Structure 1
């Protein structure tokens, strides 16, 4: 489908982030299991619940607007998830892996923040007020998840990884 209108672009971007959220729901449990930092594992589990709610919001938007999502795969998220899988394969469990998982998850969060920010703007320009509000709620959650990950990193996750490296 050609993206010749803002509505076409909105449908494409909404379809893309829907795919991204679905992929993330599969990645977060693996990340939680791999983490040795209890705060980080809990953050991943908590964000999984949020992500499921975000998928429900997209379903709500589709129902509200009558728009039809395209079946597609978000290749950006697919690549970011693959990077996370590589960490799990290459780094043994511990503080260094936890620091890597924080970085991997923040990359995904930043992609989502950019996507939802754009979607909010497009929804507003299309006069989709309720959709814009739902998307803005998700945007706020994504920003909160990013802030939580930064706080965990600053509270010791990354410092512990640095100390572990110095010991070796």
Structure 2
């Protein structure tokens, strides 16, 4: 489990180990995602989709920096771990790219893969913000909440591109 100092005065202290483990997992996931987003941006046909992937790549770099601040705010060194869920989602995205590379449905398929990633991130950041709030880690709560909002916005942007372009073109 997570190796960290405990604060006997912390509300909901029982969540601390889970919080730290989840932080390590999402930090690893965000780092893994950088490579995946680069590839998805390269393969997308639509300029709007390429741009959305490139924008999320830039946001992901910011998410990593925010996570480092979260670790620091709770007195820990930022350390990630390999995220098996993200690994699986990115492997699936690779399969989609190779299966649909010359297909008009490629962008729709890329959006489906990317939204699976977004939904994983939304679930992860949603849990983390809840844990931070319950343990009264206000700075962590605010930082994680900012990232959660950006993940939701990215999901909405991908839905718009799917509905207005990619799914229609497929």
Deviations 1:62-87 (A, max 9, x none): 12221245542110010000000011
CA distance in 2, matches of 1:2, 1:21: 19
| Partner in structure 2 of residue 164 of structure 1 | none
Equivalent residue in structure 2 for 1:25, among 31, 34, 51: 34
CA contact (8 A) 1:32 1:44 kept: yes
| Partner in structure 2 of residue 153 of structure 1 | 162
**Residue 47 and residue 2 in structure 1: after superposition, are their counterparts in 2 closer, same or farther (change >3 A)?**
closer
**Residue 154 and residue 14 in structure 1: after superposition, are their counterparts in 2 closer, same or farther (change >3 A)?**
same
| Partner in structure 2 of residue 83 of structure 1 | 92
**Residue 2 and residue 29 in structure 1: after superposition, are their counterparts in 2 closer, same or farther (change >3 A)?**
closer
Once the two structures are TM-superposed, the CA of residue 93 in structure 1 deviates from its matched residue by 3.7
CA contact (8 A) 1:32 1:42 kept: yes
> Where do 5+ consecutive residues of structure 2 fail to align?
4-12
CA distance in 1, matches of 2:2, 2:72: 23
| Partner in structure 2 of residue 38 of structure 1 | 47
**Residue 37 and residue 93 in structure 1: after superposition, are their counterparts in 2 closer, same or farther (change >3 A)?**
farther
Three-state SS of the structure 1 residue aligned to 2:38 is helix
Once the two structures are TM-superposed, the CA of residue 94 in structure 1 deviates from its matched residue by 4.8
CA RMSD after TM alignment: 1.6
| Partner in structure 2 of residue 165 of structure 1 | none
Once the two structures are TM-superposed, the CA of residue 95 in structure 1 deviates from its matched residue by 3.0
More deviation in 7-16 or 93-102? 93-102
| Partner in structure 2 of residue 108 of structure 1 | 117
TM-score (ref. length: structure 1): 0.91
